[in-house]
Structure 1
Amino acid sequence: MIHYIDLRAIAHSTEDPARVRKALDFFLLPSPEGEDRNTDDIVEVIDAEGHYGNRMTIFSAHVPRKKDLKALAAFIRQHMLPEDVELLREEMPDRLDDDQVFHIRLDKQAAFGEQVKLTSSSDAIIVRVKIETYPKNRQKAGLIVEELFG
């Protein structure tokens, strides 16, 4: 079904890194067991410099545990607006690449306000959902994505 989910958000020099981290944590804090958790062990923080010397902080998380994967996918789907679900359905074939990775961009500002909203902006929380099928089959992967997010 799902092999892993990666999330990434960038705090640009004009943004408060704590606010961007809070937006990312919105997706990582709910656990399948319902308890609060500390995300420090799964979020990697990298201080970087942009092309023009601007400072930025990159937050990335890798979620590999099966029960966390199902909970995260369900959390995203359950909190999406109906119009975003419809848009995701329409764009599913284009969002699933040849490596069976499903790509979603979620609005950072909405996530900071504890809402799930799709965006086409590059300034987003980037979500990559790796779908596994054996043998590799894009059509089966598409059906899994539809089941999860459709």
Structure 2
Amino acid sequence: MIHYIHFRVITHATEDLSGVLAALDFFLLPCLSPKDNLSELVETISVEGHFGNPMSVTTAELKRNSSCMKFSKLFQENITEEDRELLRSQMPERLDDDLNFYMRFSKQDAALGRLRLTDSSDAIFVKIKIETYPKCWEKAGLIVEELFG
């Protein structure tokens, strides 16, 4: 089903890193088990933008099946019907040939405890690696529909 879920978010110099991390926590905390350590899942590195501006890139990855399924549940319980319909109409374009399914969520909404899709580059990027044996795009599409449709 889901092999892993990878999160990536960029914090610009004009943003507060703790606020961006809180937005990411909206997705991560409900998916963790008591034995998981959030600080071990999240990594932040400092980088320089194209014009020399300082930025931070934060990544996290959910690898346990139980955590991935909790993310699917969080998604199902918090997605608006409007966003669900948008996602359904875009599913073929969001699933690549390597069976990665992509979504972007609003950082601002996540910080307020809301799940909202966005097409902005100022987002929490989510890549969901789907597993099928043998590798099959059509089967992966059915899994995506079941878990996120």
Question: How many percent of aligned residue pairs carry the same amino acid?
Answer: 51
What amino acid does structure 2 have at the position aligned with 1:19? G
SS at match of 2:30: coil
Q: Which amino acid aligns with 2:68?
A: L
Q: Which residue does 2:76 correspond to in 1? A: 77
Question: Where in structure 1 are there 5+ consecutive unaligned residues?
Answer: none
Aligned-partner Cα distance in 2 for 1:84–1:53: 35
Shift of residue 37, structure 1, vs aligned partner: 6.1
Aligned pairs (5 A) from 1:1-150: 1-31=1-31, 38-150=37-149
In structure 1, how many angstroms separate the alpha carbons of the residues matched to 2:30 and 2:131?
24
CA contact (8 A) 1:63 1:69 kept: yes
Distance 1:99 1:31 in 2: 25
Which moved further from structure 2: 75-84 or 112-121? 75-84
With the length of structure 1 as denominator, give the TM-score of the two structures.
Answer: 0.95
Shift of 1:77: 2.2
Asked if the contact 2:13/2:55 (under 8 Å) is kept, the reply is yes
Shift in Å at residue 21 of structure 1? Answer: 0.5
Corresponding residue SS for 1:22: helix
**Are the equivalent residues in 2 in contact too, given 1:48–1:56 (CA < 8 A)?**
yes
Give 5+ residue unaligned stretches, structure 2.
Answer: none
1:11-64 alpha-carbon deviations (Å, 9 max, x no partner): 00111111000000110001465x596411100110111111111111100111
Cα RMSD (Å): 1.4
The one-letter code matched in structure 2 to 1:74 is: K
Aligned 8 A contact 2:31 2:68 in 1: no
Closer/same/farther in 2, CA of residues 59 and 82 from structure 1, 3 Å limit: same
Q: Is the 8 A contact 1:31 1:37 kept in 2?
A: no
1:56 aligns to what SS in structure 2?
A: strand
Aligned residue type for 2:25? D
Q: By how many angstroms is 1:78 displaced?
A: 1.5
